[in-house]
């Protein structure tokens, strides 16, 4: 039996078996350090702003990749987790006076709970039913936020005046783009590292891939499907909520717009263009799409249409995204 497992393991690229972790980590942190340096060299605060958004999106898309690309669960409620993180963190810091960093940490907890709540019904379903159920949750949330005006969710106008991040007594205003650049990079780099290098290369990641590629075999060798799928939801939602909290304190405004078509389409295009389940595909996708989206600003009327077309075309002509271009393995 163990010979068989070893034979199976041998076929899996080193990315999933933990070998080469040190080497890959060093490359990863070198790139992050390069980006940190780059931030200091860039003088244009608009470029900083775009890259801050890139780093925040990276957390969301890496988390989505974890559940959709690696665990193979058709979850489309990712922005629901983001919204709960953003609203949770904003409300805790506005109404309870929590310091923003603590509020973001609390948002992670809120995200984990929401992940659990969405997971329980989803785990009884299969395939496209999960997609539909989770997407229905996404569609149902904006009206609920409007009803939530009574408990201080701000209705349609959203929440304004969310406190700025406070780092060791220093207020980081949204105008201070350079500090924000480093903060967002630090958050993004740590979260993405935790997702791809710790969670997905560990036991959990192996279990995810086993369930995705051969669920009967995975169960036969003792992978607890229910437990690991539940964990996929919780971990993914937790990181996404952190991104939501970060976003709320950066823009200092949250409105139900975060659940609108534009954000959802952007997220889909990022994952489609980057390629699912193939690090660093999804992260590259974020860079390509956010920057591309800015370049398309002048075609504002057609932008959403073009994003939709981009989803369809990439899925048909580039089914594994840009990550598929590099990979030799089929």
Contacts with another protein by CB under 8 A lie at 68, 72, 74, 76, 121, 124-129, 131-133, 135-137, 139-140, 143-144, 261, 265, 268, 272, 276, 301-302, 304-305, 307-312, 315-316, 319-320, 330
Element (H, E) at 58: helix 45-64
Q: Which is nearer to another protein, 100 or 281 (CB)?
A: 281
Q: Residue for token digits 């989206």?
A: 293
Q: Which is nearer to another protein, 232 or 246 (CB)?
A: 232
Please tell me the number of Cα atoms within 13 Å of 226 on its side-chain side. Answer: 3
Least distance (Å) from another protein to the CB of residue 219? 17
| CB-count exposure of residue 274 (10 Å: 0-12, 13-18, 19+) | buried
Least distance (Å) from another protein to the CB of residue 129? 7
Q: Which is nearer to another protein, 144 or 160 (CB)?
A: 144
Length of the chain: 330
Q: Which is nearer to another protein, 22 or 330 (CB)?
A: 330
Q: Which is nearer to another protein, 26 or 140 (CB)?
A: 140
CA 267, 271, 276, 279: dihedral to nearest 10 degrees?
A: -100
Vertex 272, ends 246 and 243: CA angle to 5°?
5
Which of these, 61, 111, 77, lies nearest to 245 by C-alpha position? Answer: 111
Least distance (Å) from another protein to the CB of residue 229? 16
Least distance (Å) from another protein to the CB of residue 127? 6
Least distance (Å) from another protein to the CB of residue 116? 15
């Amino acid at each position: 039996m163990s010979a068989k497992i070893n034979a199976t393991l041998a076929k899996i690229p080193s990315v999933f078996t933990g070998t080469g972790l040190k080497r890959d980590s060093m490359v990863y942190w070198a790139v992050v350090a390069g980006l940190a340096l780059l931030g200091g060299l860039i003088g244009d605060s608009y470029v900083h702003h775009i890259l801050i958004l890139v780093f925040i999106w990276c957390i969301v898309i890496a988390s989505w990749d974890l559940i959709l690309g690696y665990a193979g669960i058709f979850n489309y409620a990712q922005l629901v987790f983001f919204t709960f993180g953003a609203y949770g963190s904003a409300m805790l810091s506005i109404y309870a006076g929590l310091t923003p960093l603590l509020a973001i940490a609390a948002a992670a907890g809120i995200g984990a709970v929401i992940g659990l709540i969405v997971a329980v019904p989803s785990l009884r379903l299969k395939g496209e039913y999960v997609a539909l159920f989770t997407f229905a949750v996404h569609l149902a949330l904006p009206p609920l936020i409007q009803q939530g005006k009574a408990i201080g969710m701000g209705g349609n106008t959203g929440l304004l005046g969310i406190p700025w991040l406070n780092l060791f007594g220093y207020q980081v205003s949204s105008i201070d783009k350079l500090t924000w650049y480093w903060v967002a990079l630090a958050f993004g780099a740590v979260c993405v590292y935790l997702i791809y290098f710790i969670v997905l290369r560990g036991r959990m990641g192996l279990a995810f891939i086993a369930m995705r590629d051969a669920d009967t075999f995975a169960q036969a060798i003792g992978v607890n499907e229910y437990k690991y799928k539940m964990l996929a939801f919780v971990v993914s939602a937790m990181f996404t909520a952190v991104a939501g909290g970060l976003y709320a304190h950066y823009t200092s405004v949250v409105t139900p717009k975060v659940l609108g078509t534009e954000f959802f389409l952007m997220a889909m295009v990022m994952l489609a263009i980057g390629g699912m389940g193939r690090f660093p595909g999804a992260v590259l996708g974020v860079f390509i799409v956010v920057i591309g989206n800015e370049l398309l600003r002048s075609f504002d009327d057609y932008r959403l249409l073009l994003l939709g077309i981009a989803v369809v075309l990439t899925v048909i002509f580039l089914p594994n995204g840009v990550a598929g271009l590099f990979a030799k393995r089929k």
